[in-house]
Structure 1
Amino acid sequence: MIFRWFESLIDIFRDAPDTAPPKSVVRFYVHYLRQVWKLFVVALAFGLAVALVEVALFDFLGRVVDMAQKTPAATFFQTHMQTLVWMAFVVVVLRPFFIGVHDLLVNQAINPGLTAMVRWQQHRYVLKQSLAFFQNDFAGRIANRIMQTGPSLRESAVQVVDAMWYVSVYAGTSIYLFAKADIWLALPLVLWIGGYVGMLVFFVPRVKDRSWHASEARSKLMGRIVDGYSNIMTLKLFAHTNREEGYAKEAIREQTDKLRAQNRIITTMDVSITSLNGLLIAGTSALALWLWVQGTVSTGQVALAVGLVIRINNMSGWIMWVVNGIFDNIGSVQDGITTISQERTVVDRPDAVPLRVTKGEVRFDDIHFHYGKSGGVISGLDLIVRPGEKIGLVGPSGAGKSTLVNVLLRLYDLEEGHIIIDGQDIAKVTQESLRSKIGVVTQDTSLLHRSIRDNLLYGRPDATEAEMAEAVRKARADEFVPLLSDGEGRMGYDAHAGERGVKLSGGQRQRIAIARVLLKDAPILVLDEATSALDSEAEAAIQESLETLMQGKTVIAIAHRLSTIARMDRLVVMEKGAIVETGTHSELIAHGGLYARLWAHQTGGFVGVE
């Protein structure tokens, strides 16, 4: 019961602003830690109590030695019973209580709760990044940075809280106890503190810098390895195992070199502080014994001084590794910031409203888009797709057909111009509502590594089993879905598709994708090479389903196989980002322009050859 109570202190999925985390390291920490600051204050208080009790034990050791020297054995317990009982209470009750509450706060509340909360908020933010964000980085590296940033931030914050009290309490109370015995006894400790702080000031920035580079190299290595695994079929088909080994080998070598450089500075710091600690133990012990010989301090105070400096020696080694761990983790956080704290490039306006599609008219008004390049991809394009009209986009590769679809879906924002759907500028509506009104079947269909049912219900999560089965039937996928199985014995709709749908053939993936869009039943439909993965027989089998799917919808279809779109209401021929021809199939054939040449090449069997 007590464990559950502490574990409930952090609400992992708490409401938080869905904004970019700060790029400054300090502000990045504050952004997350301020959400749980009360827990850290309480942990800090109990850490202080634990540190005070630890120092009190050494003070008690010195007092016991003095009491034993000054009090006859026969009356020892009678004389000091009250002090002994109090110290027994501190050791048996208070110390376990303080440590127990501190551990519950750290291990049950902060460690799992803060880590999960940070990961959730970062994943939630990154998930809404633009398509370009994911295209410009390794998926494995992005995932690795989200996975490592949460625990690194939490660990370094907890270590700072713990180390802060131990250092300040041990150093402060030790100086006080030494000075109370004899002011000279505190001198070695004061000098040691100066030297210790000086070493930390010298070494810590260097550890931090090298930790950052090592973490960056680790993320790069993770990205390369995951990239290879994700594209294992390409590796096999091109027989480039050795080349891939070399690609990973280079990253492993770089990561190892960066780690070695980090460890060099750590080893140097370790040896330096160990040497300084040796001077503290020898200096304090020698001085304490000399003062004892002079009769200035008692035997118990010698025991206190020697015991405390040995404890400080052990603690300083712990502090050194804590400091190293803190900045190693800060290096990982800095590495994560480079990915996680990027501003989103495609965002909803504050006053964005849901898109309402009443007719389905799509108008491209003088649009310009270049993917950030100086050369033109689409420049000044105008196009109106009337409600319920079915148009086919035709043109050679690189003409801008897929780009037109990408900006319609607002995967990228236009540089100039407007795209209007039923009188509403898509830049002024929410992205979610826009994409919910457009059904898309792409050329490169990838499925989630989940069940076939989960993949289908992505089209409409509230669909019934009967509606889902009907969509599968219309897409001609009912002939293979019941026969599917996976490595864990799941069958049919429960079978998992594999990463990106790798366990299904290209044609099977495409039919699942078509069934998914059938289930979505959006008023605007985009077919981007929708039947490219199907053979002629399979394409003919689902052509009727596609025509059923297109009924009553505004359709924009892209196809290099011109026979699949020849029956569209209107064909729009693009070249170099501009519309060069428009008309029906027969009109364009009669015109004898670019479309007629493309048609002649395909029907003649020499696609792309003059």
Structure 2
Amino acid sequence: MTSTAPSTRLSTARALARLLPFAKPVMPRLVLGAVSALLASLVALGIPLVLEAFVGENGPIASGELWPIIGASAVVLALGLAEAGLIWLRRWFVLTPATSVEYDLRTSFYQRLQRLPVAFHDRWQSGQLLSRMMQDLSVIRRWLAFGLILLLVNILTIFVGSLILFRWHWALGTTFLIFSLPIWYAGYRFEKRYGALTRQSQDQAGDLATAVEESVHGIRVLKAFGRGKHALRQFTRQAETLRETELDKARAIGLIWFWLVLLPDIAFASCLAVGIVLNATGQLQVQELFAFFAMATVLRWPMESIGFLFSFLLDARTATDRIFEVFDEQNTITDPENPVSISQPRGELAFEGVHFRYQDAPATQRDLLDGIDLVLRPGETMALVGLTGSGKTTLTTLPTRLYDVTGGRVTLDGVDVRDLRLAELRRHISMAFEDATLFSSSVRENVLLGREDLAPGSPEADAALAEALAVAQASFVYDLPDGADTIIGEEGLSLSGGQRQRLALARAVAAKPAVLVLDDPLSALDVDTEALVEEALRQVLADTTALIVAHRPSTVALADRVALLERGRVTAVGTHSELLRTSEHYRHVISSLELEEARVRAPQAEEAKEVAR
């Protein structure tokens, strides 16, 4: 997803003010950094005044004596050293606070991503979130440490320096200001154009990051189908679009720099002409003209930097907008205000008049789940079967509140799951998905992910790990280089599909839930391994309530009862034999499952024969 939220929703000042809660703890050091920078600028402004005294008729240079000249040079050197020391202090004061703000923002952003519902992640591209997490937060950190302070200090320096220019003659000061005023107009025009380009560029960079991430994760598919060149062409188009936007930004910056360099030069030339006239008429001394131009030279850098600092300001504003777009997302799945607790869950899971539809579904479209009534008795294993698109997987996401129902309710032991704290709910109900997701950590950490109550390395943790691996028939773990402490690759892609599924199943079993929700967790297993896993699962499910999405007749055999889902409704519930006898649609579904299983098993049987030979 590329956000299209308008960047002009808030003024730049109000948008950046949203960073204050994060910057408040380090504000004293940021202020000290700004004071140090301001003092450095004031010292720089003082040097022309000192030079005026030194080159005057009664100054040390006019005397021609060595020691007064050395003394005057030492004073100028001391002022230069003082300016350098204050600049060092400014950096020392602000660097640590700026990184602290970046750290707090980054951890808060990550925490927000963890808390936002799955529906949010369905809508947003991972590359967009990644670019915000890394690129935008770095822009904010650099702006706090450098851009903000220099912008404020340089504006104050220009204001103070401009007032001092009038000290020598009002005509010189007026001339300098008149030729400098167009800089502010150019800055205003620049802000409007550059702000839009910055937002466009950062969004395009997020899209490009998404493309890279997808191609890296899907590298096996691209190679298998020989579509690397196709992916490259798509990436090249996106990269070219970003390049054109960056060139537009560069042109905008180049134009503002043109005016920032040209206008001060015009001002200098005009002031020189005015100064010569004033000197010729006796209204201005040479040393005063010299000091005026020394002061104007000091002011040149602050004036020229305004364009760069304004662009930096707009980059930071856009980055802040993009960060707070995520912070501002509404979290609809939260802990209740008055939570209920279930200390000893029996495991009764019930769906009562459940309706569900996705947020972006057309109003004319019927609910994906359209009035589900289903009760799983404590300790019962219920298989959920139906044709593709009937809503099986969607139904499994509701007990743990990955999504919330849009009508009706889901209860655990008679308590609406929305009345339980999320942490407690997800302790009582555990899930294993068909698409097994593993993390780039050890096998042990992946399997015991849901057991916060177990101390790492404790005998209890080792026992829970061994039991879960045994149930999932995942003994292959012990053959890995470091056994259960082997670090598996990104998303577990270094393992086979069946191995990943077995570890995901072990993770769900190790959580010791009261209710186990399994979304076809055995689809990637061979016949023999599946039979062993099912036999072990029967022992686990003997005292655990289970809802299993079945895509194979062999999985249906695990169940005490079967629920038939048809177009978002449960149309029949009973034992496998009862439904075969009474439901024509059930017989059709089972026949479809058998055909699909035969199609999948055929290559496996051929492979087994080859191995036997």
Matched, 1:165 2:153: yes
Amino acid at match of 2:35: A
Contact 2:180–2:263 at 8 Å: present in 1 too? no
How far off is 1:23 after superposition?
7.8
Q: Following the alignment from structure 1 to structure 2, what is the Cα–Cα distance between the partners of residues 278 and 122? A: 46
Task: Find the counterpart in structure 1 of residue 272 from structure 2.
Answer: 285
Contact 1:281–1:313 at 8 Å: present in 2 too? no
How far off is 1:96 after superposition?
4.1
Task: Find the counterpart in structure 1 of residue 33 from structure 2.
Answer: 43
Look up the SS of the partner of 2:573 in the other structure.
strand
Contact 1:351–1:428 at 8 Å: present in 2 too? yes
Change (3 A) 1:553 1:89: same
Change (3 A) 1:355 1:240: farther
Task: Find the counterpart in structure 2 of residue 111 from structure 1.
Answer: 98
Q: Following the alignment from structure 1 to structure 2, what is the Cα–Cα distance between the partners of residues 395 and 208? A: 52
Deviations 1:401-437 (A, max 9, x none): 1111111111111111111111211112222221121
Q: Following the alignment from structure 1 to structure 2, what is the Cα–Cα distance between the partners of residues 27 and 174? A: 28
Change (3 A) 1:568 1:51: same
1:542 to 523, 530, 533: 533
Amino acid at match of 1:465: D
Contact 2:438–2:446 at 8 Å: present in 1 too? yes
Change (3 A) 1:98 1:244: same
Q: Following the alignment from structure 2 to structure 1, what is the Cα–Cα distance between the partners of residues 61 and 345? A: 98
Change (3 A) 1:328 1:194: same
Look up the SS of the partner of 2:166 in the other structure.
helix
Task: Find the counterpart in structure 2 of residue 429 from structure 1.
Answer: 420
Q: Following the alignment from structure 2 to structure 1, what is the Cα–Cα distance between the partners of residues 557 and 531? A: 14
Change (3 A) 1:75 1:36: closer
Task: Find the counterpart in structure 2 of residue 477 from structure 1.
Answer: 474
How far off is 1:296 after superposition?
2.3
Matched, 1:380 2:377: no
Task: Find the counterpart in structure 1 of residue 492 from structure 2.
Answer: 501
How far off is 1:70 after superposition?
7.2
Q: Following the alignment from structure 2 to structure 1, what is the Cα–Cα distance between the partners of residues 580 and 73? A: 106
Look up the SS of the partner of 1:572 in the other structure.
strand
How far off is 1:361 after superposition?
0.9
Matched, 1:572 2:569: no
Q: Following the alignment from structure 1 to structure 2, what is the Cα–Cα distance between the partners of residues 596 and 294? A: 111
205-214 or 232-241, larger mean C-alpha shift: 232-241
Task: Find the counterpart in structure 1 of residue 550 from structure 2.
Answer: 559
Q: Following the alignment from structure 1 to structure 2, what is the Cα–Cα distance between the partners of residues 175 and 312? A: 8
Q: Following the alignment from structure 1 to structure 2, what is the Cα–Cα distance between the partners of residues 114 and 187? A: 42
How far off is 1:521 after superposition?
0.9
Amino acid at match of 1:551: A
How far off is 1:27 after superposition?
4.5
Contact 2:356–2:368 at 8 Å: present in 1 too? yes
Q: Following the alignment from structure 2 to structure 1, what is the Cα–Cα distance between the partners of residues 21 and 94? A: 19
Task: Find the counterpart in structure 2 of residue 18 from structure 1.
Answer: none
Contact 1:138–1:224 at 8 Å: present in 2 too? no
1:324 to 311, 327, 352: 311
Q: Following the alignment from structure 1 to structure 2, what is the Cα–Cα distance between the partners of residues 302 and 105? A: 37
**Percent of counterpart pairs with the same letter?**
23
Look up the SS of the partner of 2:355 in the other structure.
strand
222-231 or 146-155, larger mean C-alpha shift: 146-155
Q: How does 1:409-488 map to 2 (within 5 A)?
A: 409-461=400-452, 462=454, 463-478=460-475, 480-485=476-481
Look up the SS of the partner of 2:338 in the other structure.
coil
Task: Find the counterpart in structure 1 of residue 582 from structure 2.
Answer: 591
Contact 2:169–2:284 at 8 Å: present in 1 too? yes
Q: Following the alignment from structure 1 to structure 2, what is the Cα–Cα distance between the partners of residues 281 and 354? A: 77
Matched, 1:98 2:86: yes
Change (3 A) 1:355 1:397: farther
Q: Following the alignment from structure 1 to structure 2, what is the Cα–Cα distance between the partners of residues 454 and 483? A: 17
Amino acid at match of 1:61: L
Amino acid at match of 1:360: G
Q: Following the alignment from structure 2 to structure 1, what is the Cα–Cα distance between the partners of residues 406 and 292? A: 73
Matched, 1:515 2:510: no
Task: Find the counterpart in structure 2 of residue 200 from structure 1.
Answer: 187
Task: Find the counterpart in structure 2 of residue 400 from structure 1.
Answer: 391
Contact 1:393–1:573 at 8 Å: present in 2 too? yes
How far off is 1:125 after superposition?
0.9
Amino acid at match of 1:183: W
Task: Find the counterpart in structure 2 of residue 8 from structure 1.
Answer: none
How far off is 1:527 after superposition?
1.4
Amino acid at match of 1:481: V
Contact 1:280–1:309 at 8 Å: present in 2 too? no
Contact 1:62–1:303 at 8 Å: present in 2 too? yes
Change (3 A) 1:525 1:251: same
Amino acid at match of 1:473: A
Change (3 A) 1:215 1:512: same
Q: Following the alignment from structure 2 to structure 1, what is the Cα–Cα distance between the partners of residues 126 and 344? A: 34
Identify unmatched segments of 5+ residues in structure 1: 1-21, 486-490
